[in-house]
Structures are given as structure tokens and as C-alpha cells.
A and B are shown apart, each in its own frame.
Chain A
Amino acid sequence: MNGMQHKELVFTKSVLGRNIKQQVFFSLFRGAAGINALALLIVVYFLVKNGWTAISWDFLTEAPRDSMTKGGILPCIVGTAYLSIGALAISMPLGIGSAVYLNEYARQGVIVRLIRFAINNLAGVPSVVFGLFGLAFFVTWMNLEVSILSGALTLGFLSLPVVIGASEEALRAVPDTYREASLGLGSTKWQTISRVVLPAAFPSMITGGILSLSRAAGETAAIMFTAAVYFNKQLPDSIFDPVMALPYHIYVLATAGTNIEQTRHLQYGTALVLIALVLGMNLLAVVYRARLRRKV
């Protein structure tokens, strides 16, 4: 009797110990996840708290004045819009085309593995190296100067992997029965792709487009030598003009302005506009993707 009790005690003790261990680790993991969410909240909190007062209608619709210590950021908003839309115009067709090849045509082999390796590498090339490349290739060699075009091309290449990844995911989500039904009706491969697969995949490819847009909009180092300038009196007339851009504006005001402390609220304001733009687009993509998934 005594021995049995003892055994039971040992048993409960060890189960208890294991459960405590489990609880401890679970709390640790939960804490780690919490830190991420907290970091996001803290960054957003500080930007909103300090940037909120800078935001006004005039801030969004006026050009900077008095050597950038007053006024608004309209030229930066316009410049960032031109650059990221230009980048999208390059990354979207190339990205969707690559994804169609990889997912619909290609058979596993050395070439496909090489292409994937190149895409992964491209995704990891530091943005400042893209900037160097843009400077040497577009700005200097192709003689496009520091311009919207040079910047958009650089950003387009930089965001290409994002579009390829999202488009491939979209194509993979199209059930094979669609393809088989279409081929079974006698359509060719291209007819199947263009009339069945792409229309079915297109809605979720838009997610990739939005993500690429936001990636390009927040990029700084890649446009420093290729498109962005400290200050521009007028809005750009053509794609061969240089522009101001939101991320670069933040950097310049925060590090090289004539009066860094005095323009602090402008810096916060600009940063707030930029993350509102970028997080807004990403949130849109997340929500949109969740809705699409529910439909399927």
C-alpha cells in the first residue's frame, strides 16, 4: 500500500514537472511572439504620437519652404507615387510572365533550378547594391541621368522577386481540374493559360502587385543615386526629371538638414505619411488575400 502510494506520488510529480516545463516554454514562446507585436506597436505609437500634429491639409498639398524647415511634402508624395507605379509597370509583367513559365511550362531541371536560384539571389541583393547598379547601368551607361525612369527601372528589378513569388502562389492555387477541363475540350496550352488559368489566378496576383508597390514606395538606398534629389522646386514634367521622395526626404531631414532639431516634427510627419501608405497597402493585401482564401 505504502509502496503504491509512493509510486503514484513519483508519477504525479514527474507529470507535474513535465507540465510545468511545458508551461514555462509555452510562455516563453508566447512572450517572443508578443515582443514582435509590441515592437510594431511601439514604432507606430511613437510615429503617430509625434507626427500627428504635423499632418494637415497644407502639409500634404504644399511644397517645402524656407530651405525645407517649413511647408509640406507634396513633391515627395508625388515622386514616391511616380517611382513606385513606374516600378510596378516593370515588375508586374516580368513577374507574372516568369511565374507563368515556372509554374505552367517548366519541367524540373537544371535551368529551372538556376532561374529559381537567381530569383532568390535577386531577392537578397542589398538595396544599396541595386543603387550602385542603377547608377552604373541606367544613370551612367544608358545615359538616363538621375531621373524617375532610372529609379523606376532600378526599383522594378528590386521588387521583381516579390511579384514572382506572389504570382506563383496565385497560379499554384488554381486547381488542376481547371487546366484538365480546358485541355480536354481541345484548347491548346496557351488558350488554357490565357483564358482559364490567368483569369482564375489574377485576383490573387493583385496582392503581389500591392506588395511590390509598397516595397518600392519604402525603398531608400536604391533611389539615392538613381532618382532622388534633396530639393526640387517644381513637380517633375517628364520621366527624365529627378524627383523628391518620401523615404529619402526623411533621411535627408533627419541627417543632413540645416536644422535637424527644428524640423523634427516634419520628419515625424513625413515618416507617419510613409508608414500610413506602406502599412495601409500591406494591410489591404492581407485582408484581400484572406477574403480570397475564404471564397475558395
Chain B
Amino acid sequence: MKRQRKEGMIRNLFFGIAFVSIAILLLILFFLVKAGVPIFEEVSVTEFIFGKYWYPTASPPDFGILPLILASLFVTLFSAAIAVPLGVMTAIYIAEIASARLKEIVKPAVELLASLPSVVIGFFGMVVVAPFLQETFDLPTGLNLFNASLMLAFMSVPIICTISEDAISSVPPELKEASLALGANRIESIFRVIIPASLSGISTGIILGMARAIGETMVVLMVAGGAAMIPGSLFDPVRPMPASIAAEMAEAPFQSDHYHALFAIGIILFVFNLVFNSMADYISHKHRQVGAATL
């Protein structure tokens, strides 16, 4: 009896530890809301989100974050335009085409790419890519939307690639064998059988890769250029949301409107992440590959 009680206690202890992740997530949300919501006594939620001017230190200050939201969306979309084909193609290469030996090289290379600290990628974008862009395209500055998208792409490629590769590798071999036996060659099997069968995993990877890009801070802080304006071209400097928080927090007086506004931007980033993850969660549960029979 005593032994059973002890076992039960240990079980509960582990449950408690596993519950910590939920607790942390709620705690983050609580403190963001607590420090962010007071700004909405100054400006309404719609003014905040759709306001076109972000001059938090002017008097009177403007707290419209539309330029920041658009900047975040643009860098995310452009980086996805580069990262999605690159990541998915690399995943297909690793899972279906590469020889065992090459696989042993490419896969760790992608993992190492994922491990590069974002500040290093940002630094690289600043000192190597920016001068190159400036000279090649004759621009006023190499620190712009395009540069940021390019650097972000290399941060989301590993996520897209790893998750897609998992999905492609877990397609049951019978499917591929059946397709080959019917006379399709390898590339036809890849396009007509393997990719459709792993589409939910690939979509999950793409969503999480984009989530990574939208929340990435140091890269956009260092290479996006920092101008809080709605961009007119691919080579305009921009100021995405995370960059605003990181750049301005040190100057925002504690508990000032500016301070609250930056936390409110944090809430928006948190919600974006929640939405992206819910989508990924929904897709991977709804279209889970159970076996060959699901096709």
C-alpha cells in the first residue's frame, strides 16, 4: 500500500514537471498582457494596429504599428519565397535522392546551419551582404527588406527542411514501390506519390519555418535598415516588429506609454506564433499519415 502511494506521488511529480511548459506559456502571456494592455487606455486597439505612424518618442507620440506589422509580413513572405522551394527541395534530395554517404554530409550541414546564432547571421548580413548589395544594385543602403529576407530565409530553411524530410522519409515504402512497379520513374513517383502523401508534414514545416522568420529578432534588427515606414520597394529599409522591441526597449522609460506599447507588440508576436502553431497542429493531426491505407 505504501509502495503504491509512493508510486502515485512520483507519477504526480512528473506530471507536475510536464505541466511546467503550459505554466510558462501562460505566465508569458499573463506578463505580456499585464505590461502591454495599459497602452490601450491611450490609443484604441484599431488605432494601434492600423495606425500608419510610429513615432513613440515624439510629442504627442504616435503609436500606430501598421508599418511594423507590414514590414514583418513582407520580410516573412519574401523569405518564404526563397526558403520554401529551397527547404523542400533539399528535403526531397536528402530523403529520396542522395546516396547514404552524401546524406551523412548534407543532413548535418543543414543542422549546423540551424545552429548558427542569429546575431552571427545578422552580422554577416551587415558586413558582407549589405556592401555587396549596395554596390551591385547601386542602392543608398544595403540594409533593407531584401537583405533581411535573404538572411531570414537561411534561418527558416533548416526548419522547413528538417520537418519536411521527416514527413517524406515516413511515407510507407510500399507506396513508392507500387508506383515504380507500375512503370513510373523516380521523379514521377516523387511528384505524384511521395509529395502528395507527405503534404501535411511539408505544410507543417513551411508554417513553422515562417513562424520562425516572423519572430526572428537579431537579423531584422541588424540588417533590415530600421526605418518605421511602409515600404514602397524591395530595397527600402524597414523595421519589423521584433526589431522595434529590441531597439527601443532600452530607451523606453519604465512603465511609460512607449514601454507598454512595446509589450503590446510582444502580445501581437505571441498571438502570431499561437496562430501559426495552431495551424500546424491542426494540419498534422487532421491529416496524420496512419498507414498506406490512408491514401
- Chain A contact residues, CB within 8 Å of chain B: 18-19, 21-22, 25-26, 28-30, 32-33, 35-37, 39-40, 43, 46-47, 93-94, 97-98, 100-102, 104-106, 114-115, 117-122, 124-133, 135-137, 140-141, 157, 160-161, 164, 188-190, 211, 214-215, 217-221, 224-225, 247-248, 250-251, 254-255, 264, 267-268, 271, 274-275, 278-279, 282-283, 286
Contact = CB atoms under 8 A, between A and B. Distances in A.
Contact of B187 (A21, A35, A37, A190): A21
A218 B115 contact: yes
B71 interface: no
Given A121-B277, A160-B21, A267-B127, A278 B187 contact: no
B66 interface: no
27 contacts: A22-B187, A29-B97, A35-B90, A40-B109, A94-B20, A100-B14, A101-B14, A117-B281, A119-B21, A122-B25, A124-B212, A125-B25, A125-B28, A125-B270, A132-B32, A135-B249, A211-B115, A218-B120, A220-B119, A220-B218, A221-B217, A254-B123, A254-B127, A254-B222, A264-B127, A279-B115, A282-B112
A218 B112 CA distance: 13
Q: What bracket does the count of chain B residues touching chain A fall in? A: 35 or more
Max chain A Cβ within 10 angstroms of own Cβ: one of B113, B119, B250, B280: B119
Contacts of B31: 132-133, 136-137, 141
B185 A283 contact: no
B152 interface: no
A19 B161 CA distance: 26
Contact of B27 (A25, A30, A133): A133
Contact of A286 (B86, B108, B269): B108
Given A33-B98, A98-B21, A105 B120 contact: no
B120 A250 contact: yes
